[in-house]
Structure formats: structure tokens, C-alpha cells
């Protein structure tokens, strides 16, 4: 999934716009303090530049002066520091400490929004109503964006989706959130939700203005959407209509659907037998899938592991590339989300391999997963066992010696 978010952080500035009012609005800055010790505590907070240090100093101030007349100001400063602590995690995938810290700070801010940004705080800081309303909405959006992103990185998909949709309720025009939501659905390999995912990706590209996708990457985003759409639908027919339809709403209507290539192909035949005769390769693939996912799947797998697949009567399987990794390809044989992983000994040159490209392959059965079905095959000889990749698709590393392949048992051939 093309997702060049690295440090493309949108608008983590709302609370900074109010930062100068924290102390400047005090008519006499020494009136509210209990003593010089509290003056020193407050000034230490304002001088701290590291948000984690600032939060520690705020906690010390609160412990020493729990009944301070500046409680409301202190709440606001805590909100500032928490947002500063959370923001850097957005768009990053590592290190874990950064992700965890951002998540923790954003969650604390969300949980205490009514406390840190109450009307009492607004009144104490003498902020105009419209300015306060705008700032609070932006702060809430940013905090939920961080929570969505950190959950996305941790593959807590249900939580990430919940937070992304919450952000889009707050502001329906945050393109990176729409793109992240579509990316999240696609990586789950749930083809039944691909219509929704494609809507989200197209919606992201429709957003203009300050919250649009980075201008320098627009062409890459568009290219990915076209390939993802064509890989699912079979071609790009209807894509322009999709792009036109997404401008009216951040999320698709409940009945929104785009026909997959499988659905389109199935409609061409009167019944399953006709389809199987026309597509013996897909029929065999589905039989293998259903057998492995069935109650006796594990036992059957033990008999076919390391076997060459498909058998010579079929020759090769046709597929489209879904994702490119260091030493494997995830491809779509009969599921737009990917249902086969092809493993290689040599490293792949990802820059020359395009998502959506058509290939043909055969390999040795290596492993499988039942949940979100995936069959993994080892490609021992790329020159013989896979077609459709560019000549420079692999590094110059030496190929390993091919392992002998078993022949699928005739009586158990799927």
C-alpha cells in the first residue's frame, strides 16, 4: 500500500496558536500565586521545551500546590504538553517507544478533554468563544488522529478504524485519514470490504486545500488507486464515476458496492459447472482453498506440503501482484486482497515491480493460513516458474539449489 506519511503531519499547531495567552493574559502575574515557590514552579514549566519534562514539572506543581488559583491555566498547559508529546508519533512506524508515548499522551488528552479545555479554562485565559471553539475542535481531531495512527501501526485494526471514523466525523476533509482508513481495510485482505476501501482512497484524492494529500505525491497516490481498483474490478471502467461520487460524503453509503472481477466473471456463466470448464485453474485453486480451510485441512496439508502446484495438467496459475516485500510477493489468484504468497531466495527489486501487474506462476507448497486464507509457495527457479516480472526483478544474489518437488497424490489432488 502506497502510504508516504513519514512526517507528513497535518496541522499539529492549533494549541500552539494559543500558547502566548497562558501567561500574557494575567493582569498581574504575581497575584494568583501562593508564594515564591509557586512562581518558580510555574516559570519552570514555561521554560521547559521538552514536553515530557514539562508534564513532569506540571505534576510536581500540582502535587505541591493542589489548590492553586491557577488550576485552570495548569490544565491548559497540560493539554499543550500532551499534544506536543503525542504529535511526533503521527505518521511514524518506529521506534516503539515513540508510538507508545504518543498513544499514551493522546489517550490522556482525549480522556480529559472536558477538564483540560473546559469553559472555565477558556474564561480564565480570556479567549474569545470562536477562537476557543476552533482550537478545541482541532485539538480533539489531532488527538484522535494520533490514536488512530498508533492503533494502525500496532495492527489494532478495530480500534484504528473507530478512531479514523471519529476523525472524519469531526472533519470530513482530512485526506490522510481517509487514505489510512482505506489502507487499513485493504491490508485485512477482506475482499467483501474492498468497495468501501476503494471509496476511502478515492475520497482522499478528492480533498483539496490544507488537508489534501501531499501535492508531490499525488501522482503516486492516483497510480496506486488505479491499480488497486483495476486489480479488484478487472479494469478501470467506472473509476471516474467513483471519483465523482465521493465528493459528497466522507464515508460510503451502507449499500455501496463495486463488482469484483470474480463477480463480473461469474455473471458470464449460467452455473458453476460452466465457470469451472472455462476456468479450470481457478476451479482447482478454489478446491484447494476449500479443502485446506475445511475440518481435515491440516491433515490434507501434510500430504501436499512441498508438492508442486498447480499440477502439469494446469501448467501455471494467473495472478495479479498485490504487494511487494523484500523476498516475497503477495498476489491475487481469486481474492483481490491477496490469497497467495510467493517466496523467493533472491531479494526482490521492489522499484521495478508494479502492484497490479499480471503474472503466471507455479511453485512448491510451503504453508497456509485458514483465517484470511493465504497459501504460501516457494518459487525455486524464477526463470522457469514465474512469468511477467521484469528482467531486473531480482538482485544478483546467487540462487539456492532447488528442493525436489513431490507430485500431488492423484487420489487427493484437489
Predicted pLDDT at 397: 54
Q: Has residue 301 been placed in a domain?
A: yes
Confidence label for 405 from pLDDT (cuts 50, 70 and 90) = low
How far apart CA 131 and CA 129 sit, in angstroms, is: 6
In angstroms, the Cα distances linking 352 to 1, 246, 393 are 15, 31, 6
Task: Clarify whether residues 160 and 288 are in a common domain.
Answer: no
Instruction: Give the model confidence (pLDDT) of 289-311 as tens digits.
Output: 999 999 999 999 999 999 999 99
Least confident of 7-11, 46-50, 198-202, 308-312: 7-11
Q: What is the phi-psi region of residue 315: left when phi exceeds 0, alpha when psi lies from -120 to 50, beta otherwise?
A: left
Q: How many domains does the chain have?
A: 2
Same-domain pairing of 35 and 170: yes
Of 175, 159, 173, nearest to 106 (Cα)? 159
Q: Is 145 exposed, middle or buried (0-12, 13-18, 19+ CB in 10 A)?
A: buried
pLDDT surpassing 70 at residue 375 = yes
Mean pLDDT across the stretch 29-57?
A: 88
Residues 233 and 326 in one domain: no
Task: Give SS3 for 106.
Answer: helix
Residue that has been written with the C-alpha cell 504575581 in this structure: 30
Range of the domain at 126: 16-248
Question: Residue 335 — pLDDT band, cuts 50, 70, 90?
Answer: confident
The answer to whether residue 21 is domain-embedded is yes
Q: Is residue 264 part of a domain?
A: no
pLDDT value at residue 17:
43
The torsion angle over the Cα atoms of residues 162, 165, 170 and 176, rounded to 10 degrees, is 120
Same domain, yes or no: 235 and 289: no
Give per-residue pLDDT as tens, 243-274: 999 999 999 999 999 999 888 988 898 888 99
Residue 7 within any structural domain of the chain: no
267 found inside a domain: no
3 within some domain? no
**218 and 351 part of one domain:** no
Whether residue 5 has pLDDT greater than 80: no
Q: Which of 248, 268, 293 is the last residue of a domain?
A: 248
Instruction: Please indicate, yes or no, whether residues 63 and 185 belong to a single structural domain of this protein.
Output: yes
Average pLDDT over residues 98-109: 97
Same domain, 203 and 341: no
404 has a pLDDT exceeding 80: no
Distance CA 373, CA 205 (A): 31
Q: Rounded CA gap, 262 and 284, in Å?
A: 15
Sheet holding 374-378, edge to edge: 308-309, 363-369, 374-378, 340-343, 328-332, 317-324, 358-361, 386-387
Of 208, 227, 248, which one is at a domain's C-terminal end? 248
Q: How many CB atoms lie within 10 A of CB 126?
A: 11
Same domain for 183 and 289, yes or no, is no
CB 15 within 8 A of CB 135: yes
Claim to verify: residue 308 and residue 403 sit in the same structural domain: yes
What number is the average pLDDT over the span 147-170?
Answer: 96
> What average pLDDT score do residues 44-49 get?
92
Mark whether 291 and 215 lie in a shared domain. Answer: no
Residue 324 lies in a domain: yes
CATH, residue 123: 1.25.40
- Whether residue 25 is predicted with pLDDT greater than 50 in this model: the reply is no
Last residue of a domain, one of 194, 229, 248: 248
pLDDT at 94 over 60: yes
Q: What pLDDT shows up at residue 265?
A: 85
Predicted local distance difference test score (pLDDT) of residue 31: 62
pLDDT digits (tens, 9 = 90+) for 194-227: 999 999 999 999 999 999 999 999 999 999 999 8
Selection from 396, 361, 393, 367 nearest residue 380 by Cα = 361
Cβ–Cβ < 8 Å for 205, 198: no
Cα separation, 110 vs 146, in Å, equals 11
Mean pLDDT of 102-107: 97
Beta partners for 204?
Answer: none
pLDDT at 337: 82
C-beta of residue 104 within 8 angstroms of C-beta of residue 70: no
**pLDDT single digits (tens) 116-126:** 999 999 998 88
Residue 414 contacts residue 287 (beta carbons within 8 Å) = yes
Query: What pLDDT is recorded for position 406?
Result: 57
- CA pair distance 11, 156, nearest whole angstrom: 25
Q: Are residues 221 and 302 in the same domain?
A: no
pLDDT of 181 higher than 70:
yes
Radius of gyration in angstroms for the set of CA atoms belonging to the chain, rounded to a whole number: 28
Q: How far apart are CA 199 and CA 244, in angstroms?
A: 11
Number of neighbouring beta carbons within 10 Å of residue 178: 28
* d(C-alpha 374, C-alpha 309), whole Å: 14
Residues 267-286 have pLDDT tens digits of 898 888 998 899 999 999 99
Sign of the C-alpha dihedral, residues 378, 380, 383, 385?
A: negative
Candidate from 80-89, 122-131, 144-153, 284-293 with smallest mean pLDDT? 122-131
Cell digits of residue 409:
497424490
Residues 69 and 201 grouped into a single domain? yes
Q: Is 9 part of a structural domain of the chain?
A: no
For the chain, give the mean pLDDT: 88
pLDDT beyond 60 at 51 = yes
Amino acid at each position: 500500500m502506497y502510504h508516504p506519511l513519514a512526517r507528513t503531519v497535518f496541522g499539529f499547531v492549533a494549541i500552539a496558536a494559543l500558547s502566548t495567552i497562558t501567561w500574557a493574559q494575567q493582569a498581574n502575574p504575581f497575584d494568583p500565586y501562593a508564594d515564591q515557590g509557586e512562581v518558580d514552579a510555574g516559570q519552570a514549566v514555561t521554560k521547559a521545551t521538552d514536553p515530557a519534562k514539562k508534564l513532569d514539572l506540571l505534576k510536581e506543581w500540582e502535587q505541591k500546590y493542589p489548590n492553586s488559583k491557577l488550576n485552570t491555566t495548569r490544565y491548559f498547559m497540560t493539554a499543550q504538553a500532551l499534544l506536543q508529546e503525542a504529535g511526533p508519533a503521527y505518521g511514524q512506524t518506529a521506534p516503539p517507544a515513540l508510538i507508545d508515548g504518543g498513544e499514551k499522551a493522546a489517550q490522556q488528552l482525549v480522556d480529559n478533554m472536558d477538564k483540560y479545555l473546559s469553559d472555565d479554562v477558556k474564561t480564565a485565559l480570556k479567549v474569545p468563544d470562536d477562537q476557543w471553539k476552533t482550537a478545541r475542535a482541532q485539538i480533539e481531531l489531532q488527538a484522535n488522529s494520533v490514536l488512530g495512527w498508533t492503533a494502525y501501526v500496532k495492527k489494532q485494526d478495530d480500534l484504528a478504524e473507530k478512531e479514523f471514523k471519529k476523525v472524519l466525523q469531526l472533519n470530513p476533509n482530512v485526506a490522510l485519514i481517509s487514505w489510512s482508513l482505506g489502507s487499513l481495510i485493504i491490508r485485512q485482505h477482506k475482499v467483501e470490504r474492498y468497495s468501501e476501501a476503494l471509496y476511502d482512497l478515492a475520497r482522499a484524492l478528492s480533498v483539496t486545500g490544507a488537508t489534501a494529500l501531499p501535492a508531490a505525491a499525488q501522482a503516486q497516490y492516483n497510480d496506486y488507486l488505479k491499480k488497486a481498483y483495476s486489480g479488484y474490478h478487472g479494469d478501470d471502467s467506472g473509476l471516474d464515476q467513483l471519483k465523482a461520487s465521493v465528493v459528497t460524503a466522507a464515508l460510503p453509503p451502507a449499500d455501496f458496492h463495486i463488482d469484483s472481477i470474480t463477480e463480473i466473471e461469474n455473471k458470464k456463466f449460467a452455473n458453476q459447472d460452466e465457470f469451472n470448464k472455462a476456468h479450470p485453474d481457478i476451479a482447482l485453486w478454489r478446491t484447494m482453498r476449500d479443502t485446506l480451510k475445511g475440518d481435515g485441512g491440516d491433515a490434507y496439508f501434510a500430504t501436499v506440503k512441498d508438492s508442486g502446484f498447480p499440477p502439469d495438467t494446469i501448467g501455471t496459475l494467473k495472478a495479479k501482484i498485490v504487494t511487494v516485500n523484500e523476498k516475497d510477493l503477495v498476489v491475487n489468484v481469486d481474492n483481490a486482497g491477496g490469497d497467495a504468497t510467493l517466496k523467493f531466495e533472491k531479494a526482490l527489486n521492489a522499484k521495478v515491480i508494479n502492484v497490479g501487474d499480471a503474472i503466471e506462476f507455479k511453485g512448491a507448497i510451503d504453508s497456509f493460513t485458514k483465517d484470511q486464507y493465504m497459501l504460501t509457495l516457494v518459487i525455486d527457479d524464477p526463470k522457469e516458474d514465474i512469468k511477467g516480472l521484469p528482467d531486473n526483478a531480482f538482485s544478483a544474489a546467487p540462487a539456492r539449489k532447488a528442493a525436489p518437488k513431490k507430485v500431488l497424490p492423484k487420489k487427493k489432488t484437489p
